Each structure stands twice: as structure tokens, then as C-alpha cells.
A and B are shown apart, each in its own frame.
Chain A
Amino acid sequence: MKNIFKLSIGFLMAAVAFTSCNDQKSGQSGALRSSNAEKVYVAPGEHDSHYAFISGGYSGNLTVYGLPSGRMFKEIPVFSQFPTNGYGYSEETKPMLETSYGFIPWDDSHHPDISQTNGKLDGRWIFINGNNTPRIARISLTSFETEEIIEVPNSAGNHSSSFITENTEYVVAGTRFSVPIPQRDMAIKEYKGNFKGALSFISVDPEHGHMDIKFQVLMPGFNYDLSHPGRGKSHGWFFFTTYNTEEANTLLEVNASQNDKDFIAAINWKKIEEYVNNGGGTMMPANYAHNVYDEATHNATSTMKKEVRVVNPAEVPGAVYLLPTPKSPHGCDVDPTGEYIVGNGKLSANLTVHSFTKMLDAIENKKFDGDAYGIPILKFEDVLAGSVEQPGLGPLHTEFDGKGNAYTTFFISSEVVKWKLGTWEVIDRKPTYYSVGHLTIPGGNSREPFGKYMFAMNKITKDRYLPTGPEMEHSAQLYDISGDKMELILDFPTHGEPHYAAAIPAEIIKNNSRKIYRLAENQHAKKATSDADTKVVRDGKNVHVYMTMIRSHFSPDNIEGVKVGDKVFFHITNLEQDFDVPHGFAMIGANNAELLVTPGQTRTLTWEPKQVGVWPFYCTDFCSALHQEMQGYVRVSPANSNIELSWGLGEE
């Protein structure tokens, strides 16, 4: 308890000390404000210069924004059911949310990362992790839809994820919580020495992006907080921050804050890959879902995988080293050259930067300082490149502008600090509103950042916008970082609780954006691509309706012969081949959601009629001048009625 008390006093002092800084927020002159307005003004009809993909946190999704305007364009459903378009409700998309725990309608999404080729953003896919029920999703940047989700076994609190290597060889997922591997019934207090932390290397097929867990490194029972890949000279390595190297299992806020230094784990994944390719590691029984959405069949399938390859790092000499890093480091960030590894020690007064070159040198000269469960620990002094002295309080994350500068967020002092790599001098600091978590520079996790904009995503909103009751969206601030000093140019709300975000110049992806699905290429088993294909078929208690939609009618729109106790499957194909003409489908009393069907697509909604009567359905998306006429009826008869199925359109 004493420690908590000390810590709180420290935070209080910090708050007092930095109050003066926060007063700058209204200090801008009129002229400066108007020039800032020009910097973020995107005239009506014009496009933003960058896309920003901002994680939705506890919304489980991913939101798409434009920079510099801060306008939100889309919410992409990933790990959460989305009644807005039927994701996770329609028969086609339900398998996306299957896991070894069954159907999970929600998750906590954290760290998006865009695919790369040769260390540069290639804009093919974006990956994001589900933190709560460990999963990694791959989202297409042509359809802007979730195409694949793989569950990560042996993991819990999938937080040091989902970061990709510089040729998208792997998307990496580390566990925040160590757990018994395999899971078993045991006393929690036997944690120490018995729990393990799995770091998963998930290979990405270069052609289709399909993911497969290549191997899991079973590390000591620390908490693996964040990670980033090596790049350039350090390509082939991966770095993970750890906390709770004390291996505490209760009251971690105190018990995991005792060690003066925790570690950054440096993993030579190329070495382990080679070991695995030569048959190394062991296949262990596992149970995890692999869900793939097929754009041609418009259907997702879920398969359970039954084993996973695990690697004991002690058995692969030279593959894993531990770099002592002060005070429970959070963010683990690698500069564009691959030389500097920043450990953002969240309880440390200084910011620690390790040198990749010095690390290799220390390894070569075997300058070890003991080991942890057989993993060599390097000496802090031997790997330290330098420290940024007293830059702020509570460093969390660092990004880079590609011009030799780094930008670090400080949660407690609520600011972003710009400092110089190599000289470690602080160049500028700007307040954030309030308590910033991650920050993003487009391409900030790559060899070639686009250092024009930086935005900070905050955890606390307070008074930034018109009040909306106790719960508010979080705030973000956009800074122009093209000059020596950062300039705050925009404040905008974000959806859910953004953690990390990935941003990319618009021209890399905007011309690939899909407009329609070609009807001629629709391979859905229950499609109807013309009026002639429409029908209603009974299969026991199941009634399958093969329906089409086009401006401005459903075909068929009158259906009779359905009975109470039936299960009706509406398989609906949108016949439009015109950009931005989706149709919706809503059925009175359906216990799920609506469907939003984009041109050329087929979607299925299930309805279990419970009452006798004549029940309407209608189009929910104002599609045309005759949208209000786009409706139909289903006649529901008693369970024992002998009315035959019949259907039609336009017959009086």
C-alpha cells in the first residue's frame, strides 16, 4: 500500500508541475488559428491526402478516417457484430466470429498495421488484433472488409500484436498475460516458473494473405506488452517489451513494479524459422478457429485447427536475448533505420534507447549478465544507445518522421515530445488533451515514414467537445510536423477507444477501392442472378427464399405458404451493377439484424415467424425515388395449415 501512496503523490506532483503547460491551449492568436484552419480544410468534394485506420478498442472494429480533415468515412466491422450491415448476423458472415469458445460477438481491437513490401507500405491489407479472445484479423484494402480471422491458441490478452515484418512474412501476436500451457487446473499462486508467455509468428501468404501459425515461442511467464519488428539492418529480429518480470500473480500494480528493470526480448525469428523448417519445435495439440471469407462465394467458413508448433527458446541457441530496460516498458518502437529500439519505460523518468549494433556486438562477445530460464540477459550498459533525460512523465509510445526525429507520447504529463535520435535532445513538446496513449505518423512503423502529420489519440476527453453525458467518444489531436516545432491543427473525436492507428497516403490505395461485386462472378450457392432464378423451396421446416433486389422491387415480393414454426432463410442477391447502390432488407420481428447487400452480393437473413398473419419486409437503404415502394409481404399460416408455397411479383 505504501508504494501506491508514493506513486499517487508522484502523479499528483506531476499534474501540478505540468499545469502551466496546459494553459497554452487557448493561447493561439487569430492569424495563427486561421492558417491552421487552412491546413485542415478539405473543400467540399475534395479528398483528403491520407487515410487513417484507427482501432476501435472496445468497439472491436476499425474506423477509417481522412487526414487532415479528421472526417470519419467508415466503420469496418472486424471482431464485433455490426447490425448496421448484418456482419456477424447474416449466415454468410456468422462464421467469422467463431472461436474455440464458440460464437463470440465482441472483442477489443488494438493495433492495426498495414502490409509492407521491402519495408514500405504496400496498402494491400491491414491487420488488427483482438485482445480479449486472442485473434488476428486481416482486412482487405480493396473491399475494406474483414477477410480472415485466426484465433491464437495458448495466448491470453493478445496485446503485443499485430505487427508485421517488413515483407509481411509474418504478422506477430504476443500474449500480454502468461498462462499455463497447455491450460490446466492449477493453483494461481504457482504462477512463477509454471506459466508461459506465447509469442506467435503467423505467416502471411504473399499471394492471398492467408494466415497460418508457423510457430509459437514459449517464453518465461512475463507480460509481453508491445512489440515491433526490426527493419533494414535489424530485419529478421522482433522486439517485445515485457513487464511483470517479477512473475507476480496478484496486485500487479505494486508487485509487478518492483524490479528496477524489466526486459525487451529480442527474438531472432529468422533463426527460429530455420530451426522450424528443419523440423525443430514440437507440434502440440490445440484447438483454434481459422475463419476465411471468400469474395467469390460471398461466404465465410470456419475450420478448427487441432495443433500448433511450439518452440522452447532455450533449445534454439542464439535465438532469444533479454535487454534490460527500466521500469515496466510499454511501447517498443524501432526507428526507420532499424538501429534504435526505444523502450518506453512507463514508470521511468528517462526514455531508454537501445542500439541494435551494440546488441549484436554484446552477443558476439558473450557479454551476458546471467540468464532467465536459460535465455541470456545482456548488460544494460552494453546495449544502451542513449537516454532522453527527463523528457516527461509516463512515456508510452514513440513514432518516427523519417528525418531523424522521434515523437514520444507521455500519458501522465499529457504531451507529445519531439526529440532527436542520436543526440537524444528534446526539440519540442506540445500538450495533448488529455492523457495520450498512442500516436501515429503515416508509415511510422516502416522504413519510410511520411512525416507530414502526426496525430495523438487520447484516453480522456473531459471538456474538449460539447458534453454528451458521462460517456463520451475519445479525442484525438492532429499536428503538423513538417516544421521544427509541432503545430496543433485539429481536434477530432474518434469512435470506441482507439489504441494504435495506421495511416497511409491516399494515392497508394484509393484507386484500388472496389466499387461493386460482379454478378457474373458471384459463386454463392444460393444466389439468384435474374428473375428466372427466384423461387421458394421448402426443406422440412426450413424455407429457402431465393430473392433478388433491384431498383425498386424485391422479386418475389409476395410469398405464401410459410407456417408458424418454420425457419425462413432469405437468400437475397442485389442485381445492381452500379456503384453505391446497396439495398437493405428488414423483416418485421426478425431476432437478428438487417442485411445491407452491396451490388452483386448475396446475403442471407434468417427469420423464424412466430405469429400467424401477413408480415411485411422492406428495403432499409434509401435506394431510389421509389424506395418507399420497395417492400413485400410474407403470409404466415398456422403450423397445421395445408397452404402450398407460392410466390410472385407483379401479378394482380
Chain B
Amino acid sequence: MKKAGIIMVIGSLLLLGLFKFPLWNIMLGAPQYPDPLGMDIYINGIQGVKEFDLQNIDGLNHYIGMKTIPKPEEMWEFSVFPKVILGMSILGAIIGLLVFFKKISYTSILAWFILMSFLGILGMYDFNNWLIDYGSNLDPHAIIKVTNPDGTPMSYKPPLLGFQKLLNFDVKSLPHIGGYLMFVGMALTLVAFWIGRKASVRKTTQ
């Protein structure tokens, strides 16, 4: 049970990487931008990959009527997400310690994982909603209006995950270090659960 507790603590603490590293990254390359523009999405705000990337993305987007990239104070997510992550990380660490000292059952680990996955999916859903709004809620006086073949306005929504061509831009959207640390951390909690279960099963069969 000790091993499961330790792995649980490590796994949940890896979430704290999100305070240092970006969760997600979107890169925008174009013929005119052989050195692509990029945004790093942190749980507490969006930053440019290079110093002036956000300013330059906003500058280009004004042609097609997109809103500027939100500042941290403009989206509630950027104040709530850090609290959720910090809370889940601490909760996970406490669960790990309690499992370590055999105060509670290893099944709490699974409960934590399910809660975290639920919150994660909610977060992704919310993020995707923002991307849809960012890409399609356009200024009606936009300088350049592009329509789909059926006459509806074209959406500039970047992909949630993967690659997409948007006008002259090749857009690439992938998790970044913080995101990978979170996935590894969550995977570790599953490992902790599995180890805990194995130990528990061994005990009962003995």
C-alpha cells in the first residue's frame, strides 16, 4: 500500500507543472511566417511563444474581424483553473498520504481520477467553446469576409487537437509540457490505483 501512496502523491503533484509550463500550444505558420507565430496556453492566461507573437496574431486577425486574444482578467477560466488544479493536486497528495498510512482505502484514488477526468473534460469542453467563439464570433465590419461554399461565414476556429489549414495559415494545436505532465500525473494515479488493488487482492487471497 506504501508504494501506491507514494505514486499517488507523485502523480498528483505533477499537476503543479501546469503553474510553470503551458497546458497547450497553438502554432500558426504561413508563407510570410516561416518562423511561425505561436500562443502558449497556461492555466492562468495566454502568452506569446515569442515576445510579440500575441500582438502580431491580433494584428493579423483584425483583417478578418476576430477579437483580440483575451487577457487573463477577461476570462473567468484563468482565475478558476489555477484554483481547481491546485485543489485537485493537494487533494490527490492528501489521498496519497492517507493511502500510504493506510488510513483510507486505495479506491479513493480511483474516485480522485474520475473526478479529475470529469473536470478535465469540462475544461476541454469549455476551451473548445472559447475556440469556437474566438474563431466564428466575427466583427460584421471585418475588412476581409470569407464565406464557405454554402454562403455561411467561414470559421477561423483553430483545431482543439491536431492540424488545420486556415486561409494562408497552417495551424497546429497540441498539448505542451504542462499538459503532458498532467497526463503523466493522471496516468500515474491510475498506476497507483492498480498497485493498490493488486496489493489488496493479494492480502485478501492470503
Contact = CB atoms under 8 A, between A and B. Distances in A.
B63 A577 contact: no
Contacts of B35: 579
A625 B144 contact: yes
Contact of B59 (A516, A551, A579): A551
A626 B63 contact: yes
B63 A625 contact: yes
Contacts of B59: 550-551, 576, 578
Contacts of A625: 63, 144
B52 interface: yes
B129 interface: no
A35 B22 CA distance: 50
Contacts of A626: 63, 143
Interface string A569-603: 00000001111000000000000000000000000
Contacts, number: 17
Among A550, A577, A578, A625: residue with most chain B CB under 10 A:
A578
A311 to B, nearest CB: 50
B55 A577 contact: yes
B144 A578 contact: no
A577 B144 contact: no
Nearest to A578: B56
A626 B52 CA distance: 22
Contacts of A550: 59
A500 to B, nearest CB: 35
B143 A577 contact: no
Interface in A485-542: 516
Contacts of B63: 625-626
A581 to B, nearest CB: 9
B160 to A, nearest CB: 27
Interface string A110-139: 000000000000000000000000000000
Interface centre among A576, A577, A625 (most CB of B within 10 A): A577
A83 B63 CA distance: 32
Contacts of A578: 52, 55-56, 59
Contacts of A516: 52
A314 B74 CA distance: 78
A649 to B, nearest CB: 14
A516 B55 CA distance: 14
B interface, size bucket: under 10
A550 B55 CA distance: 12
A584 B193 CA distance: 65
Contacts of B52: 516, 577-578
Contacts of A576: 59
Contacts of B144: 625
Interface string A389-421: 000000000000000000000000000000000
Interface string B59-100: 100010000000000000000000000000000000000000
A578 B35 CA distance: 11
A550 B60 CA distance: 11
Contacts of B143: 626
Interface string B18-53: 000000000000000001000000000000000110
B119 to A, nearest CB: 37
B88 to A, nearest CB: 38
Contacts of B55: 577-578
A578 B143 CA distance: 21
Nearest to B55: A577
Residue among B51, B52, B63, B143 having the largest count of chain A Cβ atoms under 10 Å: B52
A550 B195 CA distance: 60
A433 B52 CA distance: 49
A550 B59 CA distance: 9
A647 to B, nearest CB: 22
A516 B52 CA distance: 10
Interface string B92-120: 00000000000000000000000000000
A83 to B, nearest CB: 27
Nearest to A599: B52
Contacts of B56: 577-578
A323 to B, nearest CB: 54
B100 to A, nearest CB: 51
Nearest to B60: A551
Nearest to B56: A578
A579 B34 CA distance: 11
A117 B59 CA distance: 43
Contacts of A577: 51-52, 55-56
A172 B111 CA distance: 79
Nearest to B51: A577
A177 B46 CA distance: 65
A255 B113 CA distance: 99
A626 B62 CA distance: 12
B142 to A, nearest CB: 12
A197 B171 CA distance: 66
B58 to A, nearest CB: 11
Nearest to A600: B52
A509 B51 CA distance: 22
A550 B56 CA distance: 11
Contacts of A579: 35
A625 B143 CA distance: 10
A614 B201 CA distance: 90
A516 B56 CA distance: 13
Interface string B136-159: 000000011000000000000000
Nearest to B35: A579
A547 B20 CA distance: 40
Nearest to B168: A625
B108 to A, nearest CB: 51
A621 to B, nearest CB: 14
A241 to B, nearest CB: 48
A516 B143 CA distance: 27
A551 B56 CA distance: 10
B60 to A, nearest CB: 8
Nearest to A629: B143
Nearest to A624: B63
Interface string A610-652: 0000000000000001100000000000000000000000000
Given A576-B59, A579-B35, A625-B63, 13 more contacts: A516-B52, A550-B59, A551-B59, A577-B51, A577-B55, A577-B56, A578-B52, A578-B55, A578-B56, A578-B59, A625-B144, A626-B63, A626-B143
Interface of A: 516, 550-551, 576-579, 625-626
Q: List the 8 closest A-B pairs by CB distance, nearest first.
A: A577-B52, A578-B56, A577-B55, A551-B59, A578-B52, A626-B143, A577-B56, A625-B63
11 contacts: A516-B52, A551-B59, A577-B52, A577-B56, A578-B52, A578-B55, A578-B56, A579-B35, A625-B63, A625-B144, A626-B143
